[in-house]
Chain A
Amino acid sequence: MARLNKSFDKALWVFHVNSGSCNGCDIEIVAALTPRYDVERFGIKLVGSPRHADVMLITGPVTKKLSEKVKRVYDQMADPKAVIVVGTCGCTGGTFYESYTLDGPVDNVIPVDVYVPGCAARPEAIIQGVVKAWEKLEKLRGDSV
């Protein structure tokens, strides 16, 4: 992990995965990209391929049909990487606390670094989540040096 250099703080590329969410958080993620919030200011960029990504933003309570795919996308991401769960249902199951087609919450499927609760999570909260992910990466850097 010694390879973690400072540029990580300033250039986080994000890949968005919807694991069966209601869309509420997903539109808020897009809203975070647009002029009002403009996360590109902080070097955060949404990318189209998991191979390019540093951070996975995952929404939704993980349906059975998608849990394999979510794992695969996680594996496709190059190290070092972080996972941020956006939305209450991904954090704990939330309103879908009981079901027959869910494999979630997300941390049951892949390791999670940051939880952003909210139904739906506000763009400000999502940005804060990404900032927390930086802190985590910074901590990793501290440990390894």
Chain B
Amino acid sequence: MGETGEVEGGFGLRHYIERFTPSAEEFLRKKELTPQELAGWFAEKFGERVRDIVAKEKPEGTKGALRRTIWMNADREILRDMIRSLIDEIHYPHLSVISGTDEGEKVELQYHIQVYYGERATETTISVRFALPKDDLWIDSICDLIPGALISEREKQEMLGVDVRNIYDSRRYFLPDDFPQGVYPWRKDETGIKPEMVRKLSEVGL
């Protein structure tokens, strides 16, 4: 397993996992907070840079389980800071996925993060939206903090044209290699899928 030092580059993921300081404590929850308290923690920690925090507790089933969710908007500059603070003060976050939408003037990325997993009905889903103006489309990579974010970040690059800064592997994952550069399937503007690119399979050979 130690051979990775000899073969560098490419998908040196092993290397990445090892470089990022591992310690068992990192996975432990540091502070028990309800969604409302967690929302307060975010507001206190990041002040003006997080907005429109909505914390919800929705009952599920008959046994008093609550589905805890927090939605918020945030400035993209604090993304890394936010993840780092979650690791240090709250709980090592599980990044479910990064989704993205095209909102006209801007592209919005939603980071769906779970904390407080590992016990019954305690998990809280935090969805953070980051608005990125289309003329300055970038976000920081969090691969060094959560190595599992890689595929999600690569996908945002190819599907939405977001420049993920410092991503260590920026190749395409989903799209074919001969897919035209500068076309992003999830965009709804002129860089989206052009009508002539759409193939109507149902009409071939009819």
Binding site for B on A (CB under 8 A): 61, 63-65, 92-94, 96-105, 107-108
Contacts and interface: CB of A to CB of B under 8 A. Distances in A.
B205 A101 contact: no
Contacts of A107: 205
A93 to B, nearest CB: 3
B204 A100 contact: no
A100 B200 CA distance: 9
A87 B26 CA distance: 48
A102 B175 contact: no
B7 interface: no
A27 to B, nearest CB: 23
Contacts of A100: 185, 193, 197-199
Most buried by B among A65, A100, A101, A103: A100
A92 B177 CA distance: 25
Contacts of B199: 98-100, 102-103
A124 to B, nearest CB: 26
B176 A63 contact: yes
Interface residues of B, number: 15
B182 to A, nearest CB: 14
B198 A98 contact: yes
B190 to A, nearest CB: 15
Chain B interface, DSSP helix/strand/loop, else mixed: loop
Given A61-B201, A97-B201, A99-B199, 7 more contacts: A63-B176, A64-B178, A94-B201, A97-B200, A100-B197, A104-B204, A108-B205
7 contacts: A65-B177, A92-B202, A99-B201, A100-B193, A102-B201, A105-B201, A108-B204
- Does more than half of chain A's interface fall in helix, strand or loop, or is it mixed? mixed
A64 B201 contact: no
A99 B177 CA distance: 17
Contacts of A104: 201, 204
Contacts of A97: 200-202
A93 B201 contact: yes
Looking at B176, B177, B201, which has the most chain A CB atoms within 10 Å of its CB?
Answer: B201
B179 A98 contact: no
A98 B201 CA distance: 6
Contact of A93 (B179, B193, B204): B204
A96 B179 contact: no
Given A64-B179, A99-B199, A100-B197, A105 B185 contact: no
B204 A98 contact: no
Contacts of B202: 92-93, 97-98
Contacts of B175: 101
Contact of A101 (B176, B200, B204): B176
Contacts of A98: 198-202
Nearest to A61: B201
B121 to A, nearest CB: 32
Contacts of A92: 201-202
Nearest to B192: A100
